[in-house]
Amino acid sequence: MTSTDFNQNQNDAEFMPSVDAVSAIARFVGIVRRRKQVVITAIIIHVLLGTTYYMLATRKYASTAELLIIQQKQDHLATVGDHESSEDTMATNQKLIASPIVLQNAIKQLSPQYLIDLVGEPTHKWVETLSKNLSARVTRKTNFIDVTYRSKHPEAAAAVVRAIINSYLQFVQDKHQGTAGDALHSLLQKGAELEAKLTEKQNELQDFSQQVGHLAVGQDDSAVEPIIQRALRLNDALMDVQQRRLELQATLVSVEGALERGEDINQYLVAMEESVGRQMMLSSLGLSSEDLSVIEEQQKQVLAAQAELSSLSNFYGPNHPRILDLQKSIANSERYVREYRANLGKQQNGMVQQHIGPVVKRMLEQSVQQTWQKEQQMSDSFEEARQEAAKHSGDLVQLRMLEREVTRLEAQYDLLFEKISTVDMRQMQAPIQATVVREPVPDRVPVSPQIRFLVFICLASGTAVGTVIVYVQDVLDDRFSSPEELTAQLGVPVLAMVRNLSPLPGEGMETVHTHKLPHSVETEAFRTLRTAISLSGSSCDRLLISSSEPGDGKTTISVNLSVAMAQAGKRTLVIDADLRKPGFTTLLKLKGRPGVSDVLTSERSPAESAPDLVVHTEVPGLDVLPVGLRRPNPAELLSSNEFVELLAWADSQYDRVIVDCPPVLAVSDAQVVGQLVDGAILVVRPEKNHRRSVIRAVESFQSVGCNVLGVVANALSDESQTYGYGGYGYGYGYGYGYGHDEQDFEDVDADSEELIVPHPATQVGVSLRRKETSTDPIRPRRAA
């Protein structure tokens, strides 16, 4: 699949829901049109109810005044945060106009003659009644408020609006002035208290600062007081002395243990070097600077000789005199250094055991004692500094608290002073200015009920209720009510209408009405179906007959239609393709005989095996290919190439090929066969089948590209007259009105004299011709 095909399929999938919605709407509109009497009745009822209401309703008159609200510069006393927006101001005043306190004052101002709307109402409900008839509306994006009141009398409406506006203006003025005075007095009193408290705290801060002796090193948090700094330095020095004492004590203990055990104490001399000094250590060990110089000089000579030997080895051989001299010199120097060190080591070991050990121990004991005394002095000094710093820190904390308290009081005092100044300047200025730009006047034309609005409501509600009733009826009665509804909703014509056929005695073809009773009224419906198929305007040599559900009578229609075609001189073959539940084969008592399934599974081609399995019936020109033995894969057999070849063979040998298939909604067999035939006929029982099932059945055929020629309304009872399926007398008696036998007419062929008659089901013209004289009415077989 290319990307273009994929995109096309995706677009088709996205388009399908909209198509289904449009189809559903169109179908529902058609239902409303067919049941328009229900909608008209609902509209008439609503119009009558509206007329009754209009005649009995109390007339209401309205009066409107318009207010202009101008917002002044906001007083800082009124708000602590941000200023109100214009929308908030308008909404606040809109609600204030309809507030109970404003309405109560308005009622007090009204004369008794204008309290007509409150007559008969309890006193405690007057405000509620007045509020129901009052509306205050803000004109969008403006500062105008429309105040409207409805009353039983136009003069009373104007008087009530005027009283409400006066009450609102008086309330705003009184509330503002009273609030400003109370606020000013409260702020002045609070300012005096705050000033006294601020002075007290400032004096307390000054006295405490002098008492503590604060040096005012700055407000930076990283700055440290000198007293605290001294305590910190003493603490660091004390920690260093303690660490040094512990190290010396550990070394002393180790040396004493080594002397008791007679071990070498050279490993402890390095740790003592820092304490007793390098030169003293060497002297204690019996070493001198000259000994170290001699050893160091010999080592330098060895290194120089080795470097020269390495350089000359690249040019001379191993037996060269210079090479041999250098090797000898290096060996002599290394032996001298070893012997010299060995002599020093022997001398040192003897000294350590006899003399150096006690000296080292005594020197360590002196160092430990000196360090301990220094530690005691440092500890005393640190404790004294710590106590002084702790006291000073508490004083500093209290001092900082006093400073923050003074700063806070100063900020409060500054803010309060600013508020007092603002109130003092603007205490007589209102936050808003309300002006009446349109006075309320009496209006003699009632605003309720309005006839145009009432007419619109009646028509709209009547239409809505009628549509809902139609929809409910459509949901509850999910049946086709007439042939017109079948055609409109399925999009295909009704080819014939067959009444409920009474069973005939016997078996096989004896039970078929078109064979047993060819001149009965019931048989005429199948001739009508045969004629409608012939005049469908397309090739109909291969027909498929199916239904939406089991039990709709598709087999009855198939056998009667095939007999009717054979009677008209058409060589007809019926292929029973219902491999699951064969009805045609069962009707003709052909069960157990080989048939379609055997042809499709045979090793021979269908053209070779099918002629031997075809059953010739007692009706001239009518053959049947039974279903055969049951197979487990009917859908696969019908979709095989062998079935295509079977239909091609049948089409070459017969004039009409009728394929009896299973119900299309039950299995997919009918859809598979539908792709291989010229057209499909759907059998419908209007009193049994649900509308949605039949619609899905037609859509199933159309989805695979099968041409649905039309539907056959089957098993119609006498009660079907109520549902619009009447008219049998005209349809069934028409074929005999001209005094000719049925055999005098056949389907339209070339070189015939046409006769146009109305179709009994659709009233569309039907073209018939008088059969020419012929010894062989059967059309010659087609070439294979």
- The per-residue pLDDT for range 303-353, each reduced to its tens digit, is 888 888 888 787 777 888 888 888 888 888 878 777 776 676 555 555 545
| Residues whose CB falls within 8 Å of the CB of residue 738, separated by 6 or more in sequence, listed in order | none
- Amino acid 33: pLDDT: 83
The neighbour count for residue 736, using CB atoms within 10 Å, is: 13
Q: Is 779 helix (H, G, I), strand (E, B) or coil?
A: coil
427: in domain: no
- Amino acid 284: pLDDT: 52
Instruction: Classify residue 771 by its DSSP letter.
Output: P
Looking at the structure, tell me whether residues 386 and 499 fall in a common domain. Answer: no
- Average pLDDT of the chain is 78
Count how many residues are written for the chain.
784
User: Which tokens go with 31?
Assistant: 């239902």
Domain final residue pick, 696, 728, 760: 728
Give me the residues of the chain with pLDDT under 70, please.
Answer: 1-20, 23, 72-85, 176-185, 211-225, 227, 263-292, 341-342, 344-356, 392-393, 421-431, 718-784
463: in domain: no
293: in domain: yes
Looking at the structure, tell me whether residues 362 and 508 fall in a common domain. Answer: no
The neighbour count for residue 214, using CB atoms within 10 Å, is: 14
Q: In the block, which residue shows the tokens 């041999």?
A: 324
**Cis amide leading into 449 (omega within 30):** yes
Domain final residue pick, 405, 428, 449: 405
Looking at the structure, tell me whether residues 558 and 681 fall in a common domain. Answer: yes
**CA distance readout (Å), 348 to 341, 354, 551:** 10, 10, 128
Domain that holds residue 299: 226-405
Looking at the structure, tell me whether residues 385 and 534 fall in a common domain. Answer: no
Looking at the structure, tell me whether residues 392 and 536 fall in a common domain. Answer: no
Looking at the structure, tell me whether residues 335 and 241 fall in a common domain. Answer: yes
Q: Please provide the DSSP assignment of 260-298 as one string.
A: HHT---HHHHHHHHHHH-HHHHHHHTT--HHHHHHHHHH
Domain count for the chain, please give it.
3
Q: Tell me the CATH number at 649.
A: 3.40.50.300
Looking at the structure, tell me whether residues 233 and 351 fall in a common domain. Answer: yes
Q: How many CA atoms lie within 13 A of 678 on its CB side?
A: 16
338: in domain: yes
Q: Are 538 and 510 in contact (CB under 8 A)?
A: no
Burial category of 528 from C-beta neighbours within 10 Å (exposed 0-12, middle 13-18, buried 19 and up):
buried
Give CA 678 to chain center in angstroms: 47
620: in domain: yes
Looking at the structure, tell me whether residues 543 and 654 fall in a common domain. Answer: yes
318: in domain: yes
Distance CA 203, CA 261 (A): 76
Q: Is 337 helix (H, G, I), strand (E, B) or coil?
A: helix
- What region does 314 belong to: left with phi over 0, alpha with psi -120 to 50, or beta? alpha
Looking at the structure, tell me whether residues 575 and 676 fall in a common domain. Answer: yes
Strands (E), 350-479: 432-438
Looking at the structure, tell me whether residues 583 and 680 fall in a common domain. Answer: yes
Q: Are 225 and 218 in contact (CB under 8 A)?
A: no
Looking at the structure, tell me whether residues 355 and 495 fall in a common domain. Answer: no
- Amino acid 200: pLDDT: 84
Q: The pTM is what? A: 0.46
Domain final residue pick, 361, 381, 405: 405
Q: Is 557 helix (H, G, I), strand (E, B) or coil?
A: helix
- Amino acid 626: pLDDT: 95
- The per-residue pLDDT for range 686-729, each reduced to its tens digit, is 888 888 889 999 999 999 999 999 999 998 876 654 445 554 33
| Residues whose CB falls within 8 Å of the CB of residue 172, separated by 6 or more in sequence, listed in order | 96, 430, 432, 434
Distance CA 467, CA 459 (A): 12
356: in domain: yes
Looking at the structure, tell me whether residues 582 and 698 fall in a common domain. Answer: yes
Distance CA 684, CA 489 (A): 13
508: in domain: yes
User: Which tokens go with 634?
Assistant: 């009917």
